[in-house]
Amino acid sequence: MTSPNKDDNLAFTHAEAVQIILAGINTGAIKFPFTGSFSKEKAEEMLKGTLCQARSGERTEERFREDVGYALSYEFANLARKDAIYLLSLLQTLVVGLTKEEAEGITARAFR
């Protein structure tokens, strides 16, 4: 923590917080918890569900491909939005910071 912010909390500047997050992503210390959970198995499960729906009705091959593309892109976009909220929350936390009392409490618990 570099210096007190306008609320007299110990916090990072916006630029410092962004650099910390970028460094964490680049080193692998910060992972994308939601899009990172999207696996080959999950995609195959979604494809099987779409395939079952396609067999139950009359769909052309083109329509089936559109449905598969939509299902996968919708799921991945939803996970990406959740990751964006996670990163924005992390940024906000770094910029808002901690009060001196919160920082002292954390330090005291860490060295018990």
What is the number of domains present in the chain? 1
Q: Is the pLDDT of residue 19 over 70?
A: yes
- Band (pLDDT 50/70/90 cuts) for residue 86 is very high
Burial of residue 35 (CB within 10 Å: 0-12, 13-18, 19+) is middle
- What percentage of residues in the chain have a pLDDT greater than 90? 39
The residue range of the domain holding 69 is 3-110
Average pLDDT of 46-60?
Answer: 68
Q: How many CA atoms lie within 13 A of 36 on its CB side?
A: 9
